């Protein structure tokens, strides 16, 4: 099964180019034109492996989407790459300090974006493999599962 990427981009040509390219390299892509469409469209679907968010969107901007994702119980640890025309240092800092894992400025190279997606996913996958053990207790970092041989809590 291919990994899913959720893209939020209001520019249809960029949104469709991202959909086409990432599908051609093996990802399942769910593309949305706004934050409202993202939250409505993702309801009932499994979590994507990664979100790619524009900042300048109609209605809810990308930073607000990012904040909501980081506050969500299920979405707090899903990686996010900001993909935006906002290139000022303060914009980059705001994106990263609000929880983005990477920040890419438009215009962008699609192969570089793919490399950044792979890098973020590689780091995320490694985090999920760690298990810390103390006596008979095991702890797997986010989502934070504690286990003992005879029981399991989440």
pLDDT band at 12 (very low <50, low <70, confident <90, very high): very high
What are the pLDDT digits (tens) for 28-61? 999 999 999 999 999 889 999 999 999 999 999 9
> pTM score > 0.75 for this model?
yes
Q: Are strands 145-148 and 151-153 parallel, antiparallel or unpaired?
A: antiparallel
Task: List the chain domain ranges.
Answer: 4-129
pLDDT band at 148 (very low <50, low <70, confident <90, very high): low
4-129 to CATH, choices 3.30.110.30, 3.40.50.450, 3.40.50.2300, 1.10.10.410:
3.40.50.2300
Contact of 49 with 70, CB cutoff 8 Å: no
What are the pLDDT digits (tens) for 78-123? 999 999 999 999 999 999 999 999 999 999 999 999 999 999 999 9
């Amino acid at each position: 099964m291919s990994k899913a990427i959720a893209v939020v981009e209001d520019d249809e040509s960029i949104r469709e180019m991202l959909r086409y390219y990432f599908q051609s390299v093996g990802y399942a892509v769910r593309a949305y034109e706004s934050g409202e469409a993202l939250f409505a469209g993702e309801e009932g679907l499994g979590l994507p492996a990664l979100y790619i968010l524009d900042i300048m969107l109609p209605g809810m901007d990308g930073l607000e989407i990012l904040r909501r994702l980081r506050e969500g119980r299920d979405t707090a640890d899903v990686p996010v790459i900001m993909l935006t025309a906002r290139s000022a240092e303060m914009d980059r800092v705001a994106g990263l300090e609000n929880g983005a894992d990477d920040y890419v400025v438009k215009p962008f190279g699609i192969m570089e974006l793919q490399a950044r997606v792979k890098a973020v996913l590689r780091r995320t996958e490694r985090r999920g493999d760690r298990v810390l053990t103390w006596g008979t207790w095991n702890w797997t970092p986010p989502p934070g599962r504690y286990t003992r041989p005879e029981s399991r809590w989440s």
